Amino acid sequence: MIKSLLIANRGEIARRIIRTCRANGIRAVAVFSDPDADAPHVREADLAVRLPGASPAETYLRAELLVEAAVKAGADAVHPGYGFLSENAGFARAVEAAGLTWVGPSPDAIEAMGSKVAAKKRMAAAGVPTLPELDPETVTEFPVLIKASAGGGGRGMRIVREKAEFERELASARREAESAFGDPTVFCEPLLERARHVEVQILADAHGTVWALGERECSIQRRHQKIVEESPSPAVGDEVRERLFAAAIAAAESIGYVGAGTVEFMLKGEDFHFLEVNTRLQVEHPVTELVYGVDLVEWQLRIAEGAALPAETPKPSGHAIEVRLYAEDPANDWRPASGTLHRFHVPGDVRLDSGVEDGSVVSVHYDPMLAKVIAYAPTRAGAARKLATALEDARIHGVITNRQLLVDVLRDDAFLAGDTHTGFLAEHDFTHTVDPQPFALAAALAQAATRRIGTLPLGWRNVRSQQPKARFLFGEEQVEVSYDPKQATTGTVVLDLDGVRTPFHVAAYGDTVEVDSPCGSVTLKVVPRFPEPEAKLAPGATVAPMPGTVVRVSVAQGDQVEAGAELLVLEAMKMEHRVLATTAGTVTELLVQQAQQVNAGDVLAVVEES
């Protein structure tokens, strides 16, 4: 019997596991890095152990520290969650060597699937369909997909369509794989255009029973990482489903799998090919839980205690869709964002698996996922509608997110028709435009209501020569509005837009104003009446778009570059980001070097225009 469980993870998945511990009378032990000292998962756990440091390499990737924390807190089992060391056979062995129960498959099974190169060979031998493997040193035909051998989540993965790009992308994929998984090994596969990413949830006990708990469609991705997942897949019929389940069960049985895991495939038409086995709980497991009525974390714990699965697999019912809400800017190459999350509220009849709450700080050290929002309904259309409405009505203040993109996808005709594939976002334009004027007017009225002398708005006159004005920044655009201070009201401002009364909910945080309405959500910056003088950047200066580490410098001082040429590469929030020249010219100053830490706004280089 597991009495006390150390959760070797953080954020959303740690909170998710704590919920199941609470429901089953198991004491939950959290671990935390210094940036996570006040995180929700730390407060919600029964006990918490500090891991000194900030970066994953100093904290959540230190197997010896995690085992030491478990022993110190009196835990008798360890759950790795997902990511970090969840698929590290060495960590699993260290847990077992300390006399603790490992909640997951055996170290041998993890090791067998830990190298995707070796895993593909093993699956082919078991009769599971696979794509041919290409040696990176001898690739001659394109397009190809470069993949990290030791991990997933889009890290170390690149699509290369032309030979001229291959060496650069290969080096970048190896660096990212080394940083994320401690192993730079990569391999290549032929790229399947317009294919679907479909996976099967498996659950196996130590007594020979293996469940295939339906398939999940995970085709809508950015940076090769899923952002919309659903079950069942709209593309899978009964015959294909039967073959998928048989292949997944064969994969599990070929390695003696025990616990929860996922077998991933690429599906094109009715043909599918093996991708990998994720020897852990998946991020998207909630959609399976809702459709099959099971608690996968509870079953992981019960199986680790030796329990047997019932012989009959549960029956599915209805449809579930999950979206991953990220602190990132889809319009700016998915650039991740960090900062304080002033307000975080998602209403409606949806499941919210979140690692954050009001006041949480989105750190530069970790993945920028804020939460998973999941809707369940009898039909796929009903689930999509319920989920889109909940996202539209959410209050998310303080950092930019992909919320509007997710709403637009869920409302899209092609998505609703089930016409999706891994290139879906590249083929569809989800650029969202909004008129900032009514938002600025609502902000001005709410702002005026907070500046009063007695019952009169500040600046009120019996006889006015003109209406008062307010100015805001909407991105780089300056918006000016005139308003009647007698109409000022706090909180919710109702405007008449072409005969339609429309509420605008206004919240101010210093000089930032967040405005939410049925027309969308907008962030505005107050333009002060008497702005402070600002330091001027040199013409051609390129600044860091976010805090990060310089992992490659691609130019030297004096080099001639074209507009769009790569100047350097920053690593931030577990991904690499290319910094490009905005103009053609000469690199007159290069102010950084490899391995240097930079802050957002730091000048990195100066390109003097030709």
User: Which amino acid is it at 567?
Assistant: L
- For residue 215, the SS3 value is strand
pLDDT at 458: 57
pLDDT value of residue 154: 82
What band does 294 get if pLDDT is binned at 50, 70 and 90?
very high
pLDDT band at 610 (very low <50, low <70, confident <90, very high): confident
If you count them, how many residues does the chain have? 610
pLDDT higher than threshold 90 for residue 557: yes
Model's pTM, two decimal places?
Answer: 0.91
Taken in order 125, 126, 132, 133, the sign of the CA dihedral is: negative
Find the mean pLDDT for residues 52-75. 96
Cβ–Cβ under 8 Å, residues 20 and 297: yes
Residue 534 confidence (pLDDT):
62
pLDDT tens digits along 425-438: 999 999 989 999 99
Lowest mean pLDDT among 229-238, 281-290, 568-577: 568-577
Tokens 């991904």 found at: 575
pLDDT of residue 117: 85
Question: DSSP 3-state assignment of 406?
Answer: helix
Q: 124 by DSSP, 3-state: which?
A: helix
Whole-number Cα distances in Å, 332 to 35, 121, 370: 26, 39, 18
Task: Return the structure tokens found at 196.
Answer: 């679907």
Confidence band, pLDDT 50/70/90 cuts, at residue 535? low
Delineate the domains of the chain, giving CATH numbers in brackets.
4-103 (3.40.50.20), 132-190 (3.30.1490.20), 196-427 (3.30.470.20), 436-526 (3.30.700.40), 541-609 (2.40.50.100)
Q: What is the pLDDT of residue 465?
A: 58
Classify each residue of 417-448 as buried b or exposed e, where b means 16 or more C-beta atoms within 10 Å of its C-beta: eeebbbbbbeeeebeeeeebebbbbbbbbbbb
Higher pLDDT, 455 or 254: 254
Say which DSSP state 397 is in: E
Helices (H) and strands (E) in the chain, counts: 15, 38
Whether 59 contacts 253, CB under 8 Å: no
DSSP code of residue 461: -
Confidence at residue 463, expressed as pLDDT on a 0 to 100 scale? 52
Q: Give residue-wise pLDDT tens across range 221-233.
A: 998 999 999 999 9
Q: Report whether pLDDT(63) > 60.
A: yes
- Convert 263-294 into a string of H (helix), E (strand) and C (coil): EEEEEECCEEEEEEEECCCCCCHHHHHHHHCC
Task: Give the start-end residues of each E strand in 96-207.
Answer: 101-102, 144-148, 158-160, 186-190, 196-204
- pLDDT for residue 531: 67
Question: In Å, what is the CA distance from 537 to each residue of 11, 106, 236, 543, 545?
Answer: 38, 56, 55, 9, 14
328 has pLDDT over 60: yes
Average pLDDT of the residues of the chain: 93
Helices (H), 129-228: 163-181
What pLDDT, in 10s, does the model give residues 381-395? Answer: 999 999 999 999 999
Q: HSE, CB side, 13 Å, CA atoms: give it for residue 261.
A: 30
Q: Return d(Cα 179, Cα 34) in angstroms, integer.
A: 20
- In this prediction, residue 459 carries a pLDDT of 54
- Which residues are bridge partners to 259 per DSSP? 204
pLDDT of res. 180: 76
The burial class, CB within 10 Å (0-12 / 13-18 / 19+), for 275 is buried
Say yes or no to pLDDT of 291 above 70. yes
Q: What is the mean pLDDT of residues 558-572?
A: 92
Better-predicted residue by pLDDT, 253 or 454: 253
Mean pLDDT of 185-208: 95
- pLDDT, residue 462, reads 58
DSSP 485: G
- Is 100 within 8 Å of 67 (Cβ atoms)? yes
Q: What are phi and psi of 448, to 5 degrees?
A: -65, -35
The stretch 23-46 carries a mean pLDDT of 98
In angstroms, rounded to a whole number, what is the distance separating the alpha carbons of residues 275 and 455?
Answer: 67
Grouping H, G, I as helix, E, B as strand and the rest as coil, residue 356 is coil
Q: What is the reported pLDDT for 152? A: 74
Contacts of 71 (CB under 8 A, 6+ apart): 98, 100
